[in-house]
Amino acid sequence: MKYEVYQLSYRSESGHLFEFVSIGKRGNIRKRVEFQQTQWSNVFNLAFGDVDDMGALNDRQVTDNGDMVKVLATIGSVVREYASRHPERSILIVGSTPGRARLYRMALALNEEELSAEFGLFTFEGMAKVPFQKGTDIDTFLINLKQ
């Protein structure tokens, strides 16, 4: 990608959990990207958020640390790494809040050309999987590495 990314501070051996530190106007904030098994065998949910004092992931916290582009680019690099390690899996991305869904939509739309060269980008109409299209008001995305 064409954006600066944070260095990962932690990567689990299984490759399902990644952490990095956001550095910005509100200080240093631990972030986590976790891939969680869904009810479908080869579909994993991407969970993202701040790590709280108890070590749990909070996917509703709005940090506003002034580094949104770098954070999103880091998530993108984690998705690439995960997909290359597990090319048979699809990654489900659901915005945990309307604002976060909008942010993911914008990030996909802005980088659609580059991403679609490497990944299949989809969303849903009801239960039907359809190709991602800019300008649609959606909160659920499915991506997979093109084989």
Beta-bridged to residue 21, according to DSSP, are 30
pLDDT tens digits, 12-45? 999 999 999 999 999 999 999 999 999 999 999 9
Cβ atoms 31, 21 nearer than 8 A: yes
- Residue 61's alpha-carbon distances to 1, 11, 52, 58, 64, in angstroms, are 26, 22, 10, 6, 9
Indicate whether 1 pLDDT > 70. Answer: no
> What DSSP element (H or E) covers 71?
helix 68-85
Q: What would the mean pLDDT of 68-95 be, rounded to a whole number?
A: 96
- What is the SS3 assignment for 80? helix
Could you tell me which residues come within 8 angstroms of residue 11 by beta carbon, excluding any fewer than 6 positions away?
A: 17, 18, 19
Of the ranges 48-52, 120-124, 133-137, which one carries the lowest mean pLDDT score? 133-137
Q: State pLDDT tens for residues 91-114.
A: 999 998 898 899 899 999 989 999
Rounded Cα–Cα distance for residues 133 and 135 (Å): 6
Give the model's confidence band at 127: pLDDT under 50 very low, under 70 low, under 90 confident, else very high: confident
Structure confidence by residue, pLDDT tens digits, 47-69 = 999 999 999 999 999 999 999 99
